[in-house]
Amino acid sequence: MELIACQLVSSVDIDENFAQVEAQLSSWAEGSSLHAEGSHEKGPALVVLPECFALFGGDPTLNLRHQETLGDGPIQQKLSALAIKYQVWLVGGTIPVKTHNRDRFFTCSTVYNPQGEQVADYQKIHLFDVDVADNTGAYRESDTTAPGQRVVLFDMQGILVGLAVCYDVRFPGLFQKLASEGAQIIVLPSAFTQPTGQAHWHTLLRARAIENQLYVVAAGQGGTHANGRQTYGHSLIVDPWGEILAEKDTGTGWVSTPFDQALIDKIRRNMPIHKHNRFTNELTP
């Protein structure tokens, strides 16, 4: 099995952004020893796209104007078609999905199997309402975004994958909950700012992997966008021991690494922190 993180510098042009995604998938496929019929010789491949991969850097109403009903819409149809074409499990970054309130959307991560079926959806729980010393200055996601309420995993041919998005990485309780429900991989579509990324990105991702003894696949936006917003990039794949296995610093591109179930089993057997955690096993009322 292969883990792939795709890094983009997305714009407001949906077609242009999908062209970037397809170029990366095509590049990956050319170098990944495919069977003639399109199935991957090394088992399933999990591809993770960044947060806001299809729409980025426009005015505050951009996502509201392009929000889709979950399970139906042109962005979701394109994601499904890519999963089929490249025979991958595809975590479609995030897209704007309708809520009951016409002035709020969910930042939603949708997942597709190689048959193009939407097998999971996760609405970002923690919203980025933060002041940052960059070209944008202040971020208020809650002005247009509704917070999600569900912890979500999906089964990828016997491997459990947990879903989180960007700012969620600062809340270890979510990752601990996903691990307690059996996650062996957690994916993190992201669009970290330059200052917060430089300060905390690597530390947070390695800590979440170490604490929970699982793989973290974090796909980011990585450059200066049309509206001047600066994103940190440095898409990473981190193993259960906290080692960075692959990294793309800035710009567009993809990184990949094999998934090693035996490594997870060995680390959890040698250091069974889930059994040793007295807060969850003994001290909670």
DSSP 166-193: GGGGG-HHHHHHHHHTT-SEEEEEE--B
- 166 assigned to active site: yes
Q: 9: which 2 tokens? A: 């510098």
CA distance 121 to 70: 8
User: Is 121 in a helix, a strand, or coil?
Assistant: strand
Cβ atoms within 10 A of the Cβ of 8, count?
A: 30
Which candidate, 211, 215, 130, 218, places its Cα nearest to that of 166?
218
Phi, psi of 206 (to 5 degrees): -65, -40
- 282 assigned to active site: no
Phi/psi region, residue 112 (left: phi>0; alpha: psi -120 to 50; beta: rest), is beta
Which candidate, 178, 243, 248, places its Cα nearest to that of 220?
248
Q: What is the largest CA-CA distance in the chain?
A: 56
| Active-site residue, selected from the candidate residues 68, 108, 166, 248 | 166
Helices (H) and strands (E) in the chain, counts: 9, 16
| Active-site residue, selected from the candidate residues 6, 51, 52, 78 | 51
- 124 assigned to active site: yes
| Active-site residue, selected from the candidate residues 78, 108, 124, 248 | 124
User: Is 42 in a helix, a strand, or coil?
Assistant: coil
- Exposure of 6 in the CB half-sphere (CA atoms within 13 A): 30
Residues annotated as catalytic are 51, 124, 166
